[in-house]
């Protein structure tokens, strides 16, 4: 079970240099968006992932892939491939911020995700002041939806 909250972030509001923190380069494509079935390259690891419907809490299953399997399946992606740098920033109390800075057609989009051990902790969470709009319950900020967008991203735009 994945339990997370997601926030829209403005580059000018980030009070530190993300490059000070560990970074992973992520590339992912969607084989299906309903239900969500994606392939992901996370640095040099490869996965096939299924995600159930939902917003705050969703079932998620990850299966490892070889690079060859990933490359083959990526060619079957419906929509465009999403690329982003993910910076992992410790938040305290065992929580981390996963700060995603998108590139390509989604360049300029920044999302912060925080994963929680349970829904009560997620619902009680008070985000840092620099976090923007809570988009946890907005389907337009699901990566599967973003992969279908034909237009370049601009901050605050309706995707």
Helix, strand, or coil (residue 123): helix
Catalytic residue set? 30
Sort strands 60-65 and 57-58 into parallel, antiparallel or unpaired. unpaired
What is the predicted pLDDT for the residue at 153? 67
Provide the Cα torsion 154, 86, 29, 66; round to 10°.
170
Domain boundaries, the chain: 2-146
Q: Do the beta carbons of residue 96 and residue 43 sit within 8 Å? A: no
- Please give the class, per CATH, of domain 2-146: mainly beta
According to the model, what pLDDT value does residue 144 have? Answer: 92
Q: What is the three-class DSSP state of 117?
A: coil
In angstroms, the CA 46 to CA 74 distance is 11
Give me the numbers of helices (H) and strands (E) for the chain, helices first please.
3, 9
Longest dimension (CA), the chain: 43
Give, in degrees to the nearest 5, the angle at Cα 3 between 13 and 73: 90
From first to last of its 159 residues, the chain has per-residue pLDDT tens of 999 999 999 999 999 999 999 999 999 999 998 899 999 999 999 999 999 998 999 999 999 999 999 999 999 998 889 999 999 999 998 999 999 999 998 999 999 999 999 999 999 999 999 999 999 999 999 999 999 887 666 655 544
pTM, to two decimals: 0.91
- Beta-carbon neighbour count of residue 63 at 10 Å? 10
């Amino acid at each position: 079970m994945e339990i997370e909250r997601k926030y829209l972030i403005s580059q000018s509001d980030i009070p530190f240099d993300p490059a000070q923190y560990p970074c992973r380069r992520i590339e992912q494509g969607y084989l299906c968006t309903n239900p969500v079935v994606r392939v992901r390259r996370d640095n040099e690891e490869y996965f096939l992932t299924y995600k159930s419907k939902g917003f705050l809490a969703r079932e998620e299953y990850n299966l490892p892939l070889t690079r060859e399997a990933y490359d083959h399946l990526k060619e079957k992606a419906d929509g465009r491939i999403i690329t982003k740098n993910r910076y992992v920033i410790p938040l305290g109390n065992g929580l981390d911020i996963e700060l995603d800075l998108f590139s390509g057609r989604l360049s300029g989009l920044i999302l912060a995700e925080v994963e929680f051990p349970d829904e009560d902790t997620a619902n009680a969470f008070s985000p840092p002041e620099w976090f923007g709009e809570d988009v946890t319950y907005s389907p337009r900020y699901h990566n599967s939806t973003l992969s279908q967008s034909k237009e370049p991203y601009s901050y605050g735009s309706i995707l």
